[in-house]
Amino acid sequence: MTRRAKSTASALPLALAQAFGAVFRGWDRMDLDVNMTLIGKLIAVLSTVVALRFGSDLPTVLLVQVAGGFAACAFALGMGKRNRLQLSTPTQGKLRELALNGAPLASTAIALALQDQQT
């Protein structure tokens, strides 16, 4: 697995959890968004410190951060169900609108990916 693939894989669970953050904010539940982010970051930092303490290399440290993303996703799913927050499923119309008007989102994602490559 290449370094870029490991970096992307380590960031994916937290990126998925951030979608729940937008839902929580949309439902005026900023407290859930903050707690989800704090739990994810705390688990990521703790797992990174443990990995470094045992002499892991950089690719392993990147993969260990996946734990924080999974913790954030698990918290978000649990709180979403507990608070009965409804998630809308994508319809053909929504997907079409995203395809036609989603250039700013795509360009931002590309810019972030390019910045990650340069570090």
For residue range 12-30, list pLDDT tens digits in order. Answer: 777 777 788 888 888 888 8
pLDDT of residue 87: 65
> Ramachandran region of residue 111, left (φ > 0), alpha (ψ -120 to 50) or beta?
alpha
In our burial notation (b when 16+ CB lie closer than 10 A, e otherwise), range 42-66 reads: ebbeebbeebeeeeeeeeebbbbbb
| 3-state SS class at 114 | helix
How many Cβ atoms from other residues are within 10 Å of residue 2's Cβ? 8
What phi and psi values does residue 109 have, to the nearest 5 degrees?
Answer: -65, -40
53-69 mean pLDDT = 81
More confident residue, 103 or 116: 103
Quickly state the pLDDT bin for 108 (edges 50, 70, 90): confident
State residue 118's pLDDT score: 54
Mean pLDDT of 49-72: 83
The residue with tokens 């993969």 is: 63
